[in-house]
Structure 1
Amino acid sequence: MKTIIHRANERGYNNIGWLKSYHSFSFASYYDPEKIHFGLLRVLNDDTVAPGMGFGTHPHDNMEIVSIPLSGELRHKDSTGREEVIKTNDVQIMSGGSGIAHSEYNNSREHEVKFLQVWVFPKERDIEPRYEQKTFFPEDRDNKFSVVVSPNREEGGVWINQDAFFSLGNFDAGETIEYSIKNKGNGVYVFVLNGEVEIATETLGTRDAIGINDVDTIIVKTNSKTELLLIDVPMN
């Protein structure tokens, strides 16, 4: 078993007024040679956007980009003609493929929006750009992991152009959960949205994370009511 610990207070941080962003991996002006990626997981940004503000139109290519609103709403518009509102409990994926331009704005002029943006390197390059979003109800992940992003459409998650799986779970205190790695050669990155857990002899609190590879299963023990994001991703 190989592990890497990313503590919440050791993440990169950028505050430009309307945007407050914590970076689990090197991003923009934040650079740490020890935090470039975890396997094919390249970016995990924990963003807060002020009311009415957001990211103007900008391009992406050959990257799988997942947005997970934690509170509030994001308004998305892209060069494929899609214009959507992404709400709490939605998961959005955009395949940059051969090239796409998009904007993201807080859909409210009164409340902040908090969301995670996650980038994964693609399996196939230069595919046709694509967009998908879906709502996942919290009660469907009570004391279990629910797949929200998957390369297998039959699992019910939004489709990703990579052998990666994202799962969300809401757990009571005192639970023990065994998670089996989906594919041989994958590792798993566990991000604690809220609460406290024990994984691989480490105690992790809110916004802490652990990356684990060279194992077939992991055991998660919850010390409190806990919300988790689990990213099961190829290591190369």
Structure 2
Amino acid sequence: MANFTQQQAQIYKAHLRGHFETDSHRCLATFNFETYQEESRKPYKKLQLLNEEVLAAKITIQETVDQVTGILLIPLIGAIDCITGTESYFITVGQCFFFTAQAGGSFAIQNPYEKEQVNYLQIRIKLTDVIPDKKVYSFDLSHKNEMIPTIQNPEFSFRIGMYTARAEDSYQPENKSNGIFALVLNGAFEFQNRLIEDRDGLAIDATETIEFESLTENSILLLLEM
């Protein structure tokens, strides 16, 4: 397997995430966010924010950004509505939604259910320019043991895959100088003797090939290349 030095890789353990909670909204922040500020949790390259959020039934939250930002929303349980300007986009499990928010821009995330809470990822990526398309992308995790290319543009790419126990795979970055951020959404993986479990993240710098092995059945891995 590829050999990552201590300088080339950093693990972000899930239990150390910043925790914000009200009666209607819970947020677990992988990187520094609001009052959660730790030296080891600075943004990774263009990846500025990676929050796992839970929203109560019929609740809407408003979000703003202070720079040109790509917003990636990925439902984990249930579905959400995202309102940008006068448009509303419905996103459910097996889909993700990507759009650009201008500096000073705002958007809203809404739980459309009458009684059920929803669980989703909110990911923000610093962009050098506006990507004009607002689009809902779909992916099929029934195709196991492979990373499914879902979004690819000049700024970043997003892949996701589900793996059976003991399945091995590898990923070659488009450019070995790019950064890779892996997030385990379910189960556990091993990256060169590094155990990455449910909701743990791993940042990997400057490598030609990333090799990994699923340690549990139906493990789910998300990969961002920047």
**Residue aligned with 2:134, SS:** strand
**Residue aligned with 2:40, SS:** coil
Show the counterpart of 2:102: 97
Q: Is the 8 A contact 1:199 1:220 kept in 2?
A: yes
Q: Cα–Cα, structure 1 residues 103 and 222, in superposed 2: closer, same or farther, change >3 Å?
A: same
Q: Is the 8 A contact 1:98 1:129 kept in 2?
A: no
Show the counterpart of 2:160: 168
Q: TM-score, normalised by structure 2?
A: 0.90
CA distance in 1, matches of 2:162, 2:63: 34
Name the amino acid aligned to 1:40.
Answer: K
CA distance in 1, matches of 2:124, 2:99: 10
Q: Is the 8 A contact 1:187 1:211 kept in 2?
A: yes
Name the amino acid aligned to 1:8.
Answer: A
Q: Is the 8 A contact 1:99 1:129 kept in 2?
A: no
Q: Cα–Cα, structure 1 residues 213 and 58, in superposed 2: closer, same or farther, change >3 Å?
A: closer
Tell me the number of residue pairs that the alignment of Structure 1 and Structure 2 aligns.
219
Name the amino acid aligned to 2:145.
Answer: N
Q: Cα–Cα, structure 1 residues 138 and 60, in superposed 2: closer, same or farther, change >3 Å?
A: farther
CA distance in 2, matches of 1:99, 1:174: 46
CA distance in 2, matches of 1:123, 1:89: 28
Q: Deviation per CA, 1:19-56, whole angstroms, max 9, x where unpaired?
A: 11111100122111221111111110011111111213
Deviation of 1:204 (Å)? 1.5
% of aligned pairs identical?
21
Q: Is the 8 A contact 1:12 1:30 kept in 2?
A: yes
Match of 1:188 among 180, 191, 200: 180
**Residue aligned with 2:41, SS:** coil
CA distance in 1, matches of 2:131, 2:190: 41
Q: Is the 8 A contact 1:85 1:107 kept in 2?
A: no
Deviation of 1:175 (Å)? 0.6
In the TM superposition, 1:207-226 aligns within 5 A as 207-225=199-217, 226=219
CA distance in 1, matches of 2:121, 2:197: 17
Q: Is the 8 A contact 2:76 2:120 kept in 1?
A: yes
In the TM superposition, 1:20-39 aligns within 5 A as 20-39=26-45
Q: Is the 8 A contact 1:177 1:219 kept in 2?
A: yes
Q: Is the 8 A contact 1:65 1:118 kept in 2?
A: yes
Q: TM-score, normalised by structure 1?
A: 0.87
Deviation of 1:135 (Å)? 2.0
CA distance in 2, matches of 1:216, 1:95: 29
Q: Which runs of 5+ in 2 are unaligned?
A: none
**Residue aligned with 2:74, SS:** strand
Show the counterpart of 1:229: 222
Q: Is the 8 A contact 2:62 2:106 kept in 1?
A: no
CA distance in 1, matches of 2:203, 2:114: 37
Match of 1:135 among 138, 158, 162: 138
**Residue aligned with 2:62, SS:** strand
Q: Is the 8 A contact 1:67 1:91 kept in 2?
A: yes
Deviation of 1:208 (Å)? 1.1
**Residue aligned with 2:38, SS:** coil
Name the amino acid aligned to 1:216.
Answer: E
CA distance in 1, matches of 2:16, 2:62: 28
Structure 2 residue 12 is the aligned partner of structure 1 residue 6: yes
Name the amino acid aligned to 2:55.
Answer: V
Deviation of 1:177 (Å)? 0.6
Q: What's the Cα RMSD here?
A: 1.7
Q: Cα–Cα, structure 1 residues 110 and 89, in superposed 2: closer, same or farther, change >3 Å?
A: same
Q: Cα–Cα, structure 1 residues 128 and 175, in superposed 2: closer, same or farther, change >3 Å?
A: closer
